[in-house]
Structures are given as C-alpha cells and as structure tokens.
Amino acid sequence: MWYDLRMKYRIPKEVEIVSSGLRKAGFEAYLVGGCVRDLIIGKEPKDWDITTNATPEQIQGIFTDSFYENDYGTVGVKTGSLDARLAIIEVTPYRTESAYSDKRRPDTVTFGASLLEDLARRDFTINAIALDDAQGHLIDPYEGQKDIKDKLVRAVGNASLRLNEDALRMLRAVRFVAELDFGIDGGTAEAISKNSEHLRHVSRERVRDELVRILNSDKPMNALVLAQQLGILKFISPDLPRGIGVEQNQAHSYNVFEHNLRSLQHAADKGWSLDIRLAALFHDVSKPETRCWSETKKEWSFHGHEVVGSRVTKKALEDLRFPRETIERATKLVRWHMFFSDPEQITLSAVRRMITNVGEEHIWDLLNLRICDRVGTGRPKEQPFRFRKYKAMVEQALRDPISVKMLKTNGEHIMKTFHVNPGPKIGWTLNALLEEILDDSARNTREYLDKRTEELLEMPEDALMNLGEAGKQRREVAEDEEIRQIMEKHHVC
C-alpha cells in the first residue's frame, strides 16, 4: 500500500534540493539505504543517500559543485550546509554487482540498472527500502518495513549467497543488532554460522570499523554475545572467546568472558570513551593463561594477568590496525587495571607513583575502568566509600601545592630589582606576599607585587619576619581547606 509519507518524515531542504534537481533534469531520484531505515525507525539519519538513473557524469552536469572519486559511481554533492550530516549528499546511480570472487569486492560494478535491481543488491531488507520524497511513498520489495517493525535484520534474497558475496555483511548484521537493538532473522543467522570462515578474507580495517561501531553502540554486550553464538567473534579477535567457561573465585559471579563483556557494557551504559570500552573488553583477556590453583588458599590466582594481558591486547589491536595512540592508551589501562586502591593502606606517594605509571592524562579513565571492572563482577555497589576516598587521594596528588611558586614574582626577581642580598628576608617577603594573594588572588600581578615588595623590604626586619611566619601559617590553613574541599566533593569527610 502506498501512502503519503511527506507529512510524517521531515526531509531536510538540502536533500530535497538535490532530489528535485535530479527530477527537474528528467531523472528518477529516491532516498535509499540507512537514511530511509532511520526515518522509519524515528532515528535521526547519520547521512543521506540518494539513488538515481542518472550516470555520474550526468549527476555532475546538474550539480557543478560536486566530486566523483571512487569506483562505485557515487558523486558527492556539496550543499554548503554547515550541518556535517548535510554538507555532502551522496548520489549513486542504480547499479548491479557481478560475482564477488574474493568475498569482499564485486568483480565489476554495472550502472544503468533499475531501482528494483539496485535494491536487490543491498545487504539487508531494512536497508533496501527507497523513499520517493516527491510523491511521498516507499518502495519496499523485500518487506523491510515489516522487519523494522519486528526488529529483525534479514538478508535480501538468499542469505547464504548474499553473505558469501561480501563476508563483511555478517559483521554489519551484528553491528545493526548493536546499534538498533534488533535481532537477526533465523535463516540469516544460520547462514552466518555456516559462512563465518569467510570473514578471514575481509580486510582487518573493515573488521575494525565495524567493531568500533559495535563498541560505541548502546548494546555492545548483546551484540558480541550474538557474534560468539554465530561463530564470528573469533574473527574479530581470537583472544576474546578464550575466556568462555573460565571460572573465577567467589568475588566473581561470572566467568572471564562474561565478566569482560559486562565490564564493557557498563562503560557503554555510562557513555564512556572508546579507550575505556576497549580496555574493559580486553582487561582480563589473559586470565585463562595465567590461572593457577592455590592449594593453600583453595582458590584461583591470576598472577600477572594484567602484564600478559596488556601484551595480548596490544597485539590484538595492532592486528585490527587500530591507530597507535588508541593502542597505547587502551593497553596502558589494561596494564595498570590492578592498581591497589585501599586508602587505609596506601600513602599519597604510592598514589603519585600510580599516576606516573599510567600517565596523568589517563588516571581518570583508569578509575572509570575500575568501576567497570567492579560492576562487571556482578557486585551491586558501584562506588563504595573506600573507592571514593581513593579518588579524593588522586585529586589531592594531582593538585598543585599552595606555595610561593604561585606568585607572579620570585626570589631572583626580587634580589635583582630591589638589590637585596640572598638571605632570610627574601623568604619572609615571599611568604608575606603569598598571604596577601591567598586573601585576594586579583593582587597576583607583577605590578602589585613589586609595589608591595618595595614596602615590605623597607620594614624593620623583625616585623617582616612576623609577617613571613604568618604567611606560612596561612598557607597551611589554606592547604587544609583545599584538601577538606576535595574530601567533601567525594563525600568522604
């Protein structure tokens, strides 16, 4: 049934200008793929694709501000929009694809097909719907709308054949499960299980891009469990399924595999960065090979799993061609995730050493990873008192101490400018100045401090000494106050 959808879906004017431009020049034009799927779901489309019977040259003839630099006929039309999603509208001629002998790329791409032929070459029914934005109706030969309603990813046509053409589609299926919170249709799932081996032929970069999208989605855990059930997780990384069935001690409700996944899911629930998500997924990856039974303790130990695990993580991420910086950050987090954090037993200098190990810029990520780790054990409380106290200690270790170094002057400057010899007078002066700027930070300027220095130096020595001592005491009070504020912030007063 055709019905008018123009009222229902808001199509941006940039998109309409391009599609109506094609039509005015005598061609067909339809919105297609992810944007139509997202419009029907009620999600904001990430980008907008138009398909047409015009050739790349004809498209470029209509839109002079455009570019064409690929083998698939896609012309990027620049719209001048400031919105990144609308700045370039991709226009692709209808096409068909011939055999895929390498299981990843069509041997030839042929233009000049019909809309229906073009929809037939697409991966899943939910992505094979076209929207005629002039008439306001959908062309949906594979019942994609029904699958959207049923929340199902289903291959267009014969699932086995389609997944065989391009093995990446298996991972795309799992990615849509993660991003849309859909399931996979039974026949398609079966075809994935049967054809999983073909994922070996897919470039690691393409696998990585799908993994990143899975990890950055709201539901990475479900999708990776499904990937495991379908037998494709090992092609993302053979190290991940090694934790399956590896049981742990009382403190853990889950085996190593499930614990890693639950830790990852918590990072996603919190909206934390890809670095933390990667580290959470891999943090206990080497527990299987480091596991030892202790007869005396009557429990498992996993000595050094974080050291081995950081090496394994590095290799796995290198294999997936992650950027060097991402690998460094994620492996560092894995390497140091076992840090000792009992504030009753730890000194501030041990906390400082920890910060030096992992790097000041990563310390908060490491603490967040600890939260994921804790939640991933199945223990209910997320941030117990002692952990908050440890956080307060980290903040205390990170803050600059209150000292005369904060002043916009220094001993050398004073000696030179005011012709004073080295001696206690310099220290008294600096401490007296510090007291003043602690009361009013606006006074911390060269001009003001020079003026005050001149006055202080003219004072009798014992009076200056008293002011200096008072300054020192005032500094201690201010230090205590800052620390108290940190404790209060973390609710550990």
Using CB under 6 A as the criterion, which residues of the chain lie in contact with ligand ATP when the complex forms? 33-34, 46-47, 49, 122-123, 127-128, 166, 168-169
Shortest spacing between CB 139 and ligand ATP, in angstroms: 13
Between 75 and 397, name the residue whose CB sits nearer to ligand ATP. 75
| Other Cβ atoms within 10 Å of 120 Cβ, number | 17
Residue 422: closest CA among 437, 433, 410? 410
Q: Can you read off the two tokens belonging to residue 478?
A: 């201010």
Long-range pairs for 78-83: beta carbons < 8 A, 24 or more residues apart: 79/14, 79/17, 79/18, 81/12, 81/14, 83/12, 83/14
Closest residue to ligand ATP, judged by C-beta, is 34
Shortest spacing between CB 128 and ligand ATP, in angstroms: 6
| Other Cβ atoms within 10 Å of 210 Cβ, number | 20
Shortest spacing between CB 149 and ligand ATP, in angstroms: 18
Between 169 and 329, name the residue whose CB sits nearer to ligand ATP. 169
Between 34 and 241, name the residue whose CB sits nearer to ligand ATP. 34
123 contact, one of Mg ion, ligand ATP, none, CB 5-8 Å limit per kind: ligand ATP
Tell me how far CA of residue 103 lies from CA of 74, 157, 198, 212, 237, in angstroms.
22, 17, 7, 22, 20
- The site that binds Mg ion (CB under 5 A) totals a number of residues, namely 2
Q: What is the 3-state secondary structure (H, E, C) of 254-313?
A: CCHHHHHHHHHHHHHHCCCCHHHHHHHHHCCCCHHHHCEEECCCCEEECCCHHHHHHHHH
Between 35 and 264, name the residue whose CB sits nearer to Mg ion. 35
Task: Please tell me the distance from the alpha carbon of residue 246 to that of residue 491, in angstroms, as a whole number.
Answer: 37
Task: Please tell me the distance from the alpha carbon of residue 257 to that of residue 214, in angstroms, as a whole number.
Answer: 17
Shortest spacing between CB 54 and ligand ATP, in angstroms: 18
Between 24 and 46, name the residue whose CB sits nearer to ligand ATP. 46
Shortest spacing between CB 29 and ligand ATP, in angstroms: 16
Q: Are 34 and 45 in contact (CB under 8 A)?
A: yes
Task: Please tell me the distance from the alpha carbon of residue 227 to that of residue 172, in angstroms, as a whole number.
Answer: 11
Q: Can you read off the two tokens belonging to residue 492?
A: 């550990």
313 CB-near residues (< 8 Å, 6+ apart): 278, 279, 282, 285, 330, 331, 334
Q: Mask 102-141, x = binds Mg ion (CB under 5 A)?
A: ----------------------------------------
Shortest spacing between CB 209 and Mg ion, in angstroms: 13
Shortest spacing between CB 172 and Mg ion, in angstroms: 11
Q: Determine what percent of the chain falls in helix, strand and coil, rounding each to the nearest 5.
A: 55, 10, 35
Closest residue to Mg ion, judged by C-beta, is 34
Q: Are 150 and 199 in contact (CB under 8 A)?
A: no
Between 46 and 379, name the residue whose CB sits nearer to ligand ATP. 46
Contact range with Mg ion by CB under 5 A, out of 41-49, 180-188, 314-322, 450-458: 41-49
Shortest spacing between CB 184 and ligand ATP, in angstroms: 15
Question: Which positions from 47 through 66 interact with Mg ion, judged by CB under 5 A?
Answer: 47
168 contact, one of ligand ATP, Mg ion, none, CB 5-8 Å limit per kind: ligand ATP
Contact between 34 and Mg ion by CB under 5 A: the answer reads yes
Contact between 427 and Mg ion by CB under 5 A: the answer reads no
CA angle 178, 181, 185 (to 5 degrees): 95
Ranges assigned E (strand) in 142-255: 152-153, 183-184
169 contact, one of ligand ATP, Mg ion, none, CB 5-8 Å limit per kind: ligand ATP
Between 209 and 289, name the residue whose CB sits nearer to ligand ATP. 209
450 contact, one of Mg ion, ligand ATP, none, CB 5-8 Å limit per kind: none
Shortest spacing between CB 176 and Mg ion, in angstroms: 12
Contact range with Mg ion by CB under 5 A, out of 26-34, 54-62, 217-225, 355-363: 26-34
Between 34 and 183, name the residue whose CB sits nearer to Mg ion. 34
Shortest spacing between CB 33 and Mg ion, in angstroms: 6
Q: Are 221 and 266 in contact (CB under 8 A)?
A: no
122 contact, one of ligand ATP, Mg ion, none, CB 5-8 Å limit per kind: ligand ATP
Q: Where are the alpha helices (DSSP H) in 296-404?
A: 305-319, 324-335, 348-358, 363-376, 385-398
Between 138 and 333, name the residue whose CB sits nearer to ligand ATP. 138
Residue 465, by phi and psi: left (phi above 0), alpha (psi -120 to 50) or beta? alpha
149 CB-near residues (< 8 Å, 6+ apart): none
What is the binding site for Mg ion (CB under 5 A)? 34, 47
